[in-house]
């Protein structure tokens, strides 16, 4: 018998052990696959900064075509190796490791810094029967650092900036638009790609997503290094944001509702008579007539006898018009009949419940209105067919897509058993807005490139930025608390990668105010909300019950009227800045409304501020969100009040109104008379100021003021195109780079790049410094250096 030494035995065992462990995973072109504790796992790099993680019970096929993700995995150079019990996949930007014994996945930057880790034993699959399909309830838990701020989850009305320490049921609603995505101050983001109702939970033990339906776990980790980088990753993954027309950035007026075409046109005429700028008017519901004809997409209401003339007259007054369309149809509409024939109507209670107008609904006469199956391609074709024939053919400029979540009333558990074209309503519930909004965008783009698609929608889901949509925060009840909540709601929405959103200026419902138009507290609230709206991606006044046009709040000389008019004019003066910022969104994946973490991530004082933000990269906006001038039910302007605010460190600041220079990194108080919103400009900024106009394109930008906020070097890129078509996608646009050298006191207006039809060949720029120094120069497209 041959003897083998203990050392040799150890070496043999080690060889077989490491060989067996090496066989625990399989390399793939984009990462690796393995099975651990009866769970199939795949690590799949899409880009050097974005990796998809897929998990399912062993042997259970899991194939999914994402509704949100449109990116395909790239051919990448990856390093795959094993170190002990860890299998590691590395790109040139980040590393993913999986513990081959426990299945735990961890994410690192290239220096080895931990970004995010799954929780040990943090995966859960529970068998679930969804109607007739055997499926799963799925959960994945992670471990975050104790004080790590995270942002996102969509539009929520919780008033929170950082979304830590809460449990939130994510399901689409009127005033909350849910997106199972968050990003961290550490520079990474996580998208949980699931469309069923999902619970997000964050506590001391774990941070998790748990979805009611899922054939497997499917999530994307992205490392952008900072908030802008994460947004860029998310847009690369789910789609880029196209340009909006210039006119969408002007002022918009609407009401629930204009009851005739004469009433609607009368509002536009009144604005023009008052010389108050306006670019858009919106027709809300019931222009179709009765509830049995709900969303017929035709003017069947006698108050609109000549809709073509109405649209033409609005256009003749240089106003654009958008109109309300819904996700549901009355039983007497043509759409309903066609959709019913292909079994593309869902069976649950929606708005309106009664066929008779009025509140409360008279259920002796049920409306029969049903939501259409937006997941069905043929249903989306039918939707567009009637939209095109009934409204697009009239020259309507855009779509107010209401109830895109959609409205779901008197919810019953069996409602989610409705079968859509893509499975149960339960399985795909949260993606409904993406499908219905996308259907309109895709169809309009297919038939016209002359007019950019513009959609105002009440709900959204991941990827919706690619569909030319601006989401409003729903039918919020007017209150000071509601105004405060809209700020972090919109900021967190922007941080999910969707840059365009707005609110009903003044709040939709006025339940908390008696005689609101004469109520000093509401009038003050409306003025402050208008100031906030000035620095939102869309400035739109709207509400039910009481009209909100400027002249409802008095006349010139009245404090509320004057404050509203001042900010409408301010909005128009900033259009060159706003439009150039919108190009930065499209071309460079930037954001218009910027949470402070985007520009001041190193300032811990700024990370959880929920009532301040950057508008573009130059303006710090600090809305007033509490009543100051209503005392004992009466307006009292005898004393000037103030609000406390924080100036982030990492920059110095200039008071927009006074020119006072202030150091960053300090808390100050700013006096806030009714017509002042605290507004600060970052030193080094260059603000292009446009002409005084009554509508966005009234005057060419042939003489712009360039306000230079000296104190630091800075730059700005002035962008122009034809303002309302898609020729920019083929290169029909121009860029003028402008830079300020603070030490040399020189402003350089660089050579213009690009061209487009109708482009100004020459123009004037008036350069203005904070101290009032001005100089006017001619510019013909060639580089100009100005010494100041």
Do 217 and 297 sit in the same domain of this protein? no
Work out the angle at residue 364's Cα, subtended by the Cα atoms of residues 363 and 370, and round it to the nearest 5 degrees: 50
Annotation marks residue 475 as catalytic: yes
Last residue of a domain, one of 432, 467, 502: 467
Do 323 and 194 sit in the same domain of this protein? no
Quote the pLDDT of residue 20: 42
Do 219 and 344 sit in the same domain of this protein? no
Reported as a single tens digit per residue, the pLDDT across 413-444 is 999 999 999 999 999 999 999 999 999 999 99
Quote the pLDDT of residue 595: 98
Q: Which of 95, 373, 402, 504 is catalytic?
A: 402
* CATH code of the domain in which 744 resides: 2.60.40.1180
Residue 690, C-beta contacts closer than 8 angstroms, at least 6 positions apart: 572, 573, 574, 575, 576, 701, 704
Quote the pLDDT of residue 21: 43
Number of domains making up the chain? 3
Last residue of a domain, one of 223, 240, 270: 223
What is the spatial order of strands in the sheet that 166-170 belongs to? 79-83, 86-90, 94-99, 105-109, 114-130, 133-143, 207-211, 198-202, 166-170
> Position of tokens 């769970």?
39
Quote the pLDDT of residue 10: 32
Do 308 and 418 sit in the same domain of this protein? yes
* CATH code of the domain in which 100 resides: 2.60.40.1760
Do 289 and 219 sit in the same domain of this protein? no
Do 442 and 356 sit in the same domain of this protein? yes
Last residue of a domain, one of 467, 497, 520: 467
* CATH code of the domain in which 370 resides: 3.20.20.80
pTM above 0.85, yes or no: yes
Q: Which of 109, 262, 442, 475 is catalytic?
A: 475
Indicate whether 624 belongs to any domain. no
Annotation marks residue 402 as catalytic: yes
Range of the domain at 150: 6-186+188-223
Do 211 and 71 sit in the same domain of this protein? yes
DSSP, res 723: S
Indicate whether 512 belongs to any domain. no
Q: Report, as ranges of residue numbers, the positions in the chain whose pLDDT lies below 70.
A: 1-23
Q: Which of 193, 228, 298, 405 is catalytic?
A: 405
Do 68 and 195 sit in the same domain of this protein? yes
Do 295 and 198 sit in the same domain of this protein? no
Indicate whether 365 belongs to any domain. yes
DSSP, res 647: E
Quote the pLDDT of residue 437: 98
Do 82 and 214 sit in the same domain of this protein? yes
Indicate whether 120 belongs to any domain. yes
Indicate whether 613 belongs to any domain. no
Measure the CA–CA gap between 191 and 222, rounded to whole angstroms. 8
Indicate whether 487 belongs to any domain. no
Do 211 and 119 sit in the same domain of this protein? yes
Measure the CA–CA gap between 625 and 678, rounded to whole angstroms. 11
Do 289 and 173 sit in the same domain of this protein? no
Annotation marks residue 626 as catalytic: no
Indicate whether 600 belongs to any domain. no
> Phi and psi (nearest 5°) for 117?
-130, 140
Indicate whether 652 belongs to any domain. no
């Amino acid at each position: 018998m041959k003897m083998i030494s203990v050392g040799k035995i150890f070496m043999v065992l080690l060889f077989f052990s490491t060989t067996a462990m090496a066989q625990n995973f399989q390399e793939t072109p984009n990462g690796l696959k393995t099975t651990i504790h009866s769970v199939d796992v795949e690590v799949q790099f899409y880009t050097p900064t974005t990796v998809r993680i897929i998990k399912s019970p062993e042997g259970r096929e899991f194939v999914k075509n994402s509704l949100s993700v449109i990116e395909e995995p790239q051919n990448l150079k990856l390093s795959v190796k094993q170190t002990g019990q860890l299998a590691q996949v590395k790109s040139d930007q980040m590393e993913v490791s999986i513990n081959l014994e426990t299945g735990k996945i961890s994410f690192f930057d290239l220096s080895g810094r931990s970004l995010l880790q799954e929780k040990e034993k943090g995966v859960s699959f529970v068998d679930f029967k969804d109607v007739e399909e055997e499926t799963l309830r799925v959960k994945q838990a992670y471990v975050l650092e104790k004080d790590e701020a995270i942002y996102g989850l969509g539009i929520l009305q919780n008033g929170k900036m950082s979304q830590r320490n809460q449990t939130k049921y994510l399901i689409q609603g009127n005033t909350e638009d849910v997106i199972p995505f968050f990003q961290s101050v550490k520079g990474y983001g996580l998208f949980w790609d699931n469309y069923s109702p999902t619970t997000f939970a964050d506590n001391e033990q774990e941070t998790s997503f748990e979805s009611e339906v899922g054939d497997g776990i499917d999530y994307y980790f992205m490392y952008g290094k900072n908030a802008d980088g994460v947004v860029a990753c998310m847009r690369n993954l789910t789609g880029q944001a196209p340009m909006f027309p210039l006119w969408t950035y002007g002022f918009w007026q609407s009401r629930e509702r204009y009851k005739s075409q004469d009433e609607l046109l009368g509002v536009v005429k009144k604005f023009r008579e008052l010389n108050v700028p306006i670019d858009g008017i919106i027709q809300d519901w019931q222009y179709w007539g009765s509830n049995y004809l709900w969303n017929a997409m035709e003017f069947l209401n006698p108050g609109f006898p000549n809709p073509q003339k109405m649209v033409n007259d609005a256009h003749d007054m240089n106003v654009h018009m958008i109109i309300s369309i819904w996700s549901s149809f009355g039983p007497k509409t043509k759409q309903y009949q066609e959709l019913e024939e292909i079994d593309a109507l869902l069976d649950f209670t929606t708005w309106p419940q009664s066929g008779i107008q009025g509140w409360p609904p008279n259920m002796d006469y049920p409306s029969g209105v049903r939501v259409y199956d937006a997941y069905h391609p043929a249903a989306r074709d039918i939707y567009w067919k009637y939209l095109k024939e009934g409204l697009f053919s009239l020259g309507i400029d855009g779509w107010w897509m209401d109830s895109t979540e959609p409205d779901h009333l008197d919810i019953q558990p069996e409602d989610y058993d409705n079968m859509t074209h893509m499975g149960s309503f339960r399985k795909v519930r949260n993606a409904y807005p993406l499908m219905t909004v996308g259907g309109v965008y895709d169809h309009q783009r297919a038939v016209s490139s002359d007019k950019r698609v513009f959609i105002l929608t009440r709900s959204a889901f991941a990827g919706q930025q690619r569909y030319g949509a601006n989401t409003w925060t729903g039918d919020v009840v007017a209150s000071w608390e509601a105004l405060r909540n809209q700020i972090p709601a919109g900021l967190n929405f922007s941080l999910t990668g969707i840059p365009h959103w707005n609110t009903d200026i003044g709040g939709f419902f006025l339940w908390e105010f008696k005689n609101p138009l004469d109520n000093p507290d509401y009038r003050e609230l409306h003025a402050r909300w208008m100031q906030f709206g000035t620095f939102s991606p869309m400035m739109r006044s709207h509400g039910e019950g009481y009209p909100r046009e400027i002249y409802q709040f008095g006349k010139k000389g009245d404090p509320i009227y004057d404050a509203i008019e001042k900010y409408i004019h301010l909005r128009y003066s900033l259009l060159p800045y706003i439009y150039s910022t919108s190009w930065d969104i499209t071309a460079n994946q930037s954001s218009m409304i910027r949470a402070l973490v985007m520009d001041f991530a190193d300032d811990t004082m700024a990370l959880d501020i929920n009532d301040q933000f950057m508008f573009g990269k130059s303006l710090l906006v600090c809305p007033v969100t509490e009543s100051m001038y209503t005392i004992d039910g009466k307006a009292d302007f005898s004393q000037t009040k103030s609000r406390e605010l924080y100036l982030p460190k990492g920059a110095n600041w200039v008071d927009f109104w006074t020119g006072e220079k202030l150091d960053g990194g300090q808390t100050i108080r700013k006096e806030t008379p009714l017509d002042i919103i605290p507004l600060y400009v970052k030193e080094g900024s260059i603000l292009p100021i446009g002409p005084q106009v009554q509508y966005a394109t009234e005057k060419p930008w042939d003489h712009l003021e360039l306000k230079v906020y000296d104190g630091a070097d800075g730059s700005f890129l002035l962008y122009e195109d034809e303002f309302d078509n898609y020729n920019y996608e083929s290169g029909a646009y121009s860029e003028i780079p402008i830079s300020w050298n603070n030490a040399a006191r020189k402003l350089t207006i660089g050579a213009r790049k690009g061209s487009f039809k109708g482009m100004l060949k020459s123009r004037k720029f008036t350069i203005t410094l904070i101290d009032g120094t001005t100089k006017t120069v001619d510019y013909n497209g060639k580089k100009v250096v100005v010494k100041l």
